Amino acid sequence: MARRPGPAPRSGRVPRPRRPGAPVRAAPRGAIGLRRATVADLPLLVRHRRGMWTDIGGRSPRVLDRADPVYRRWARREMGAGRLLGLVAEDRSGRAAASGALWIAPAHPRPGVFARLTAPYVMSMYTEPEFRRRGAASRIVRWMVRWARDHGYPRIYLNASTMGRPVYARLGFVPGNEMRLDLHPARRRRSGRAGRRR
Ligand SMILES: CC(C)(COP(=O)(O)OP(=O)(O)OC[C@H]1O[C@@H](n2cnc3c(N)ncnc32)[C@H](O)[C@@H]1OP(=O)(O)O)[C@@H](O)C(=O)NCCC(=O)NCCS
């Protein structure tokens, strides 16, 4: 039977960022454990969030430099309020392999099962390149799905990147009926390119 989600001890260890262009060597295979993040993990969560945007592409380092402290402040506040649940996957030595966050986002009331004023939203999913394709992201998302189910939510949401889409699809996520109209000219030009946006 699947292990129940729950807190685990934290190491707060932040791996050094990869040199751009450095070859990616697979990390030695071994058990990867999951734990809840705390505010001590904010440097890691911010770095992983930036890694996510970098891999998705289309944002300059300058834009990301500006976004990092904003995300850090926002994540600290939301974690403090209990609305942002961070998850860290790490190997036996405490080296962070992946992370992600579940944001209990505000929602408008709808009739029926979607009457709740909050909705769980999966975000900031990132796996260190050398730890990819070992199931770390899938484990994190499965934890979130269990958490949401255990807390009585009828649905869990996300915006998928091109890399993330197959991972979520395998876990049962399906595309929704959301539409959008890009109002910023640069965004409108880019929006034709599939999978660039989150
Ligand atoms: C998307 C991302 C988070 C996935 O992370 P990951 O830890 O490699 O994901 P998983 O290992 O759970 O699944 C990835 C693939 O590995 C496969 N896999 C899982 N466990 C495996 C194992 N033990 N051995 C071999 N392959 C395995 C899965 O089947 C999956 O294959 P698929 O893509 O063909 O479906 C990662 O690629 C990433 O950080 N990308 C850049 C940022 C990004 O796009 N984030 C998502 C934003 S929505």
How far is the C-alpha of 98 from the C-alpha of 87, rounded, in Å? Answer: 8
Q: What is the pLDDT of residues 102-158, one digit of tens each?
A: 999 999 999 999 999 999 999 999 999 999 999 999 999 999 999 999 999 999 999
Nearest CA to ligand 1 atom 39: 126
Please give the pLDDT value at position 24: 63
Q: What is the pLDDT of residues 26-79, one digit of tens each?
A: 777 779 999 999 999 999 999 999 999 999 999 999 999 999 999 999 999 999
Task: Report residue 140 as tokens.
Answer: 């994190």
Confidence of residue 1 (pLDDT cuts 50, 70, 90): very low
User: What's domain 32-190's architecture?
Assistant: 3-Layer(aba) Sandwich (3.40)
What is the CA(7)–ligand 1 centre distance, in A? 23
Count the neighbouring beta carbons within 10 Å of the beta carbon of residue 107.
Answer: 17
Range of weakest confidence among 62-66, 97-101, 102-106, 180-184: 180-184
Count the neighbouring beta carbons within 10 Å of the beta carbon of residue 4.
Answer: 9
Distances (CA, A) of 107 to 16, 80, 126, 139, 175: 37, 20, 25, 26, 19
Q: Per-residue pLDDT for 18 more than 60?
A: no
Give me the residue spans of the domains in the chain.
32-190
Nearest CA to ligand 1 atom 1: 164
What is the CA(127)–ligand 1 centre distance, in A? 8
Task: Work out which ligand 1 atom sits closest to the CA atom of 165.
Answer: 48
Is the CB of 141 inside a 6 Å radius of any atom of ligand 1? no
Is the CB of 52 inside a 6 Å radius of any atom of ligand 1? yes
Residues near 4 by Cβ (< 8 Å), separated by ≥ 6? Answer: 146
Q: For the chain, what is the largest distance between any 2 Cα atoms, rounded to a whole number of angstroms?
A: 52
Over range 181-194, report the average pLDDT: 71
What is the CA(146)–ligand 1 centre distance, in A? 19
Task: Work out which ligand 1 atom sits closest to the CA atom of 169.
Answer: 35
Please give the pLDDT value at position 184: 85
Beta strands in 37-117 (DSSP E): 84-91, 96-106
Task: Work out which ligand 1 atom sits closest to the CA atom of 136.
Answer: 7
Which one, of 195, 191, 174, lies nearest residue 183 by Cα?
A: 191
Is the CB of 55 inside a 6 Å radius of any atom of ligand 1? yes
The alpha carbon of 177 is separated from its chain's Cα centroid by a whole number of angstroms, namely 22
How far is the C-alpha of 77 from the C-alpha of 82, rounded, in Å? Answer: 9
What is the CA(131)–ligand 1 centre distance, in A? 9
Model pTM?
0.85
What is the CA(164)–ligand 1 centre distance, in A? 7
